[in-house]
Amino acid sequence: MAKMTAIEAAVLVLEKEGVTTAFGVPGAAINPLYAALEKRRTIRHILGRHVEGASHMAEGYTRAEAGNIGVCIGTSGPAGTDMITGLYSAIADSIPILCITGQAPRARLHKEDFQAVDIAAIAAPVTKWATTVLEPGQVPRVFQKAFHLMRSGRPGPVLIDLPVDVQTSVIEFDIETYEPLAVWKPAASRAQIERALSMLNEAERPLIVAGGGIINADASDQLVQFAEITGVPVIPTLMGWGCIPDDHDLMAGMVGLQTSHRYGNATFMASDFVLGIGNRWANRHTGSVDAYTKGRTFVHVDIEATQIGRVFNPDFGITSDAKAALDLFIEVALEWRDAGKLKDRSAWAGRCLHLKKSMLRKSHFDQVPLKPQRIYQEMNEAFDRDTCYVTTIGLSQIAGAQFLHVYKPRNWINCGQAGPLGWTLPAALGVRAADPDRKIVALSGDYDFQFLIEELAVGAQHKLPYLHVVINNSYLGLIRQAQRGFEIDFEVSLAFDNINADPNTTAPGYGVDHCAVAEGLGCKAVRVTSPNEFKEAFERAHALMDEHQVPVVLEFITERVTNIAMGTEIHNVNEFEEILCLDPNLDLSDVEGTGLSEHGGKKEPQPA
């Protein structure tokens, strides 16, 4: 046993639990922790410009690699409240991050002390556990429990609040014998797997819906193996995208109201059985439950028991970690295949593949201002299979999911359920901090980019290079499109005549000069206004990033109004733009609501 301050013991526990990087903003009530970090010099610290930004960096860090847990640090009061959006984003997508806050001294907690707020109570609804530690001797064990909780069952975030006098109190602690607590995860039984596989085997047109739980469990290889053994096509959710390569013959497209493929929705509507693994039946994926479930049998596998039946009650449910379930699915499926018990799915899989090759959306537009669809086409050509995309919400994300391609797990790092604007930029920095070699492309609309644009300075200061594609239509595009239902276009325009804009490089009325701001924050930027500039712009951006090792902004000036395909039901998606069908004889007569003649009507006029 050795004597040390409680916060010094906490830093030793962080080291033992595998923490090598933290993101945060120092302050008076958390300075003892910073003193302990400075003394040890074992954990890299990246200084954010906003505590919310630092919490999103921690998220990006966790999402980048299996086993990572991002750490965010802030002082008392507003630092903790700034973290709430990051905690909400993390718990919504089952992402473990550890937020550590300083707090007023224990004797002052009830006296409305400066920046004293009950952050544990505020954070409780958006964490697996939030606690204010009142006894110094508990500090190292609270951290031990935090890591155990974050990793066990459904992953999620924890907040630890530390009064400043608790941090500085001297305790006795033996780090030499410290061991992380064993992680607990539920596992399916053989009887459950055999029941589920029997139900799948009885179906004529089965699908596997692969959710983010497969990514969290690092079980993508097992998913692909199981799909190949059974011959069953896979529909990844937005959070599961990349668990099977986009060009795999059994990757049948994504389903949903927005972030979906036309062929994915058509395939789903033709199915009669769905095996969901590690997914939560999110409403942007399902649309109305009645339309989604009609005529289909469902089996749901999820690590969290209370997720089963939360949105709708499946015909059979299994509480299990995705990897444990898939290992057993593979074992049983191999036995059944060798015994000749598995159905031949080649005709059904072939039909799904034919839909995938035929039902495409047009992306080649040559007009100026640019149409966003063309930008994604050019991104597919400019970026290779190893590219990792980072994005959050908006028409840029929705169109990106419709047109881009993802080939590996953790190469689509997306804030799914919470969708806070501003998330993309700091999350991309967190991914870069976790992996210095990955090819990272962030994707934002102009408003998402503006929300936490100051974090570009973090990338410049700490040499965290990546490419940031900004789709600039000077609109809150998704909200503008949603306002069509109210026949309004109100307070969603970001356009104004910038008195400082260079008329030679900036279109009139496009508002913020993102390139100038980026360069003012120590980064580099390239603006693209014509299809003739794509190839040179991508090459120049890569060269600037390699030379300066800072984030490089690629801003594309697009038409003001583009309606991106979406709808209120998965069988009633409004396409708005032209559709490509490479097979004019494609028969969709038995699939509800996917007729190739569907179109959104006349093109909307562009604002003056």
Q: Which residues are catalytic?
A: 25, 51, 421, 476, 479
Angle between helix 424-434 and helix 51-64 axes, rounded to 10 deg:
50
Kindly report whether the peptide bond that precedes residue 369 is cis, defined as omega within 30 degrees of 0. Answer: yes
- CA–CA dist 463, 429 (Å, integer): 10
Helix, coil or strand: residue 475: strand
Q: Return the closest-CA partner of residue 280 out of 243, 245, 310.
A: 310
> 314 — alpha (psi -120 to 50), left (phi > 0) or beta?
beta
- Distance separating alpha carbons of residues 209 and 271, to the nearest angstrom: 12
Residue type, 501: A
Encoded tokens for 37 = 């970090």
- The tokens describing 350, both together, are 């072939």
Dihedral angle sign, alpha carbons of residues 122, 124, 126, 131: positive
Length of the chain in terms of residues written: 608
Among candidate residues 443, 344, 459, the one with its CA nearest the CA of residue 402:
443
Note the helical H segments in 207-288. 212-216, 220-230, 262-269, 283-286
Closest CA to 462 of 422, 432, 438: 432
The Cα 433–Cα 466 span in angstroms is 11
Q: 261: closest CA among 441, 400, 80?
A: 400
First to last CA, the chain: 74
502, 557 contact by CB (below 8 A): no
231 is written with which tokens?
């011959």
Cβ atoms of 286 and 269 closer than 8 Å = no
